[in-house]
Amino acid sequence: ENISDFSLNITDCAQVVVPEEVFFTVAAAGILENLLILIAIVRNKNLHLPMYFFICSLAISDMLGSLYKTLENIFIILCKMGYLTRRGDFEKKLDDAMDSMFILSLLGSIFSLLAIAADRYITIFYALRYHNIMTLRRALVILAIIWIFCGGSSIAIALFSYEAATVIPFTILFPLMMFFILCLYVHMFLLARSHAKKIASLPTRTVHQRTNMKGAITLTIFLGVFLCCWAPFVLHILLARFCPHNPYCACYMSIFHVNGTLIMCNAIIDPMIFAFRSPELRSTFKKMFCCAR
Amino acid sequence: MSALRLISNRTSQHALSNSDYTWEYEYYEYGPVSFEGLKAHKYSIVIGFWVGLAVFVIFMFFVLTLLTKTGAPHQDNAEPSEKRFRMNSFVADLGRPLESERVFSRQIAEESQSLFHFCINEVEHLDKAKQSQKGPDLEGTIRFQEGPRNSGMFEEDLNYLTKFNIPNFVNTEQNSSLGEDDFLISEPPIILESKSVTHSSHRILD
């Protein structure tokens, strides 16, 4: 409350505040949506496939991200109202736990996206052997490994977050994974193009040049959404570590709450891009809601 | 974040000692930052970051669009029923009956690739039978844009293609039933004409 006493200059960057109603609405929508997807996938036996389990994993990561932000906001409110002390030991441990939840969510999202891309890659390039390569058991083992690794890394990063050695690998992992996922999809596109050219290059009837825009648009949307929602926060972490006193960095860090809201928007958009594109899942939803009435 | 909290603890020692602003959940604990004498706009990092991100996404979109430029597939003028029979029997040759939806969705991944090979092979096969027919030379993509030579036959091909549903990699105009779900995004929407298992002597391509 006496922070304004210390701002020496009237032109400094004030914290951009997101209204609490907006914040909680977005968070609640994200959590609900992903919970519905989990329930739908668990209840419908037809959806017990590796592909849907990876989508489940993504839904769990998104839920954790929204949950983290919600809990953080609740704690800020509790601190404002005086129920929690600001410097207590318990609060610091709670803060650490929540940080690790956030990093778990981010790592879980990245690895889930990677798993989904790899699954599609195998579907296309090893189509006839897909069923033997990606069995249900292997998919569950892969998911278990991913989540144990993410859990361990998140705890380690949260404990040692003051070291530059943890911040730098963390921020390098992010673009590296994105680039790798992009390469997987580009390779799939190239295969599609070469097949189409093979078909079209025979002396058949006239062929009209067509651009298959749909694939490009869809891929741009989901990689673009992931980047736009997570990159601002990752940049915030970088700047907070390396230049907290620089006025430019401080101005960037003043939009912290907006960055947090973006992460929760990612939790809302991801199901629309991945889960709801599947007709089977959509029909499961319809059944669920029709039976509930 | 604990990183931010620890930094603020260090800086608060340098700053005014009676400060109480190191509240870890709000992030204006970096102490008084002087904003005097800024050369660029104070939000320049914010603006620069978002502009850079937008440019990158648009660039990625253009690269992907270039990569996915394909030509629409056109089949030769074989009998539709014969083709359909071949496709069904070819898929059936994979050895698994298409009884339940679950089995179906498991197989479509395999069938998608095999159907592609099937398409290519079938066209090659028919092409060998019709060597004398000479269409436009379609090796260069530039030639794809030349106008249709035989517009009448073109219409027949289009009508034929409506019955021949292929994975949505290569988008045909009539492929409206598959148009909604892109192959890469949901399960490959192979729609078979019939689910009956028939056997034939077609080889399985790998």
pLDDT exceeds 70 at position A273: yes
- State the smallest CA–CA distance between residue A293 and chain B in angstroms: 26
Distance, in Å, from the CA atom of B170 to the CA atom of B178, rounded to the nearest integer, reads 11
Residues of A in contact with B137 (CB under 8 A): 203
ipTM (interface predicted TM): 0.77
- Model pLDDT for residues A148-178, shown as the tens digit of each residue: 999 998 888 777 766 666 677 777 888 888 8
Task: Break chain B into its structural domains and give their ranges.
Answer: 41-70
Distance, in Å, from the CA atom of A242 to the CA atom of B104, rounded to the nearest integer, reads 54
Higher per-residue confidence, B118 vs A285 = A285
Radius of gyration of chain A (CA): 22
- Model pLDDT for residues B68-112, shown as the tens digit of each residue: 665 444 444 444 444 444 444 444 444 444 344 454 455 555 555
Going by the DSSP 8-state scheme, the letter that residue B99 receives in this structure is: -
Put simply, the chain A residues between 43 and 62 with a CB less than 8 A from any chain B CB are 45-46, 49, 51
- State the smallest CA–CA distance between residue B201 and chain A in angstroms: 19
Q: Are strands A209-211 and B69-71 parallel, antiparallel or unpaired?
A: antiparallel
- Domains belonging to chain A, first-starting first, are 20-194+209-282 (1.20.1070.10)
**Among B33, B60, B139, which would you mutate to test the A interface (most chain A Cβ atoms within 10 Å of its Cβ)?**
B33
Cβ–Cβ gap A124/B112 under 8 Å: yes
pTM of the shown model? 0.64
- Model pLDDT for residues A62-99, shown as the tens digit of each residue: 999 888 888 888 887 888 888 777 667 777 788 778 87
Cβ–Cβ gap B32/A6 under 8 Å: yes
Distance, in Å, from the CA atom of A108 to the CA atom of A58, rounded to the nearest integer, reads 7
| Pair of tokens at residue B81 | 């029923």
- State the smallest CA–CA distance between residue A182 and chain B in angstroms: 9
Amino acid at A99: D
Tally of residues, chain A: 293
Helix, strand counts (H, E) of chain A: 10, 1
Assess A290–B contact: CB distance below 8 Å, yes or no.
no
Q: Within 13 Å, how many C-alpha atoms sit on residue B115's CB side?
A: 26
Spatial contact of B151 and A208, defined as CB atoms under 8 Å apart: no
Assess A135–B contact: CB distance below 8 Å, yes or no.
no
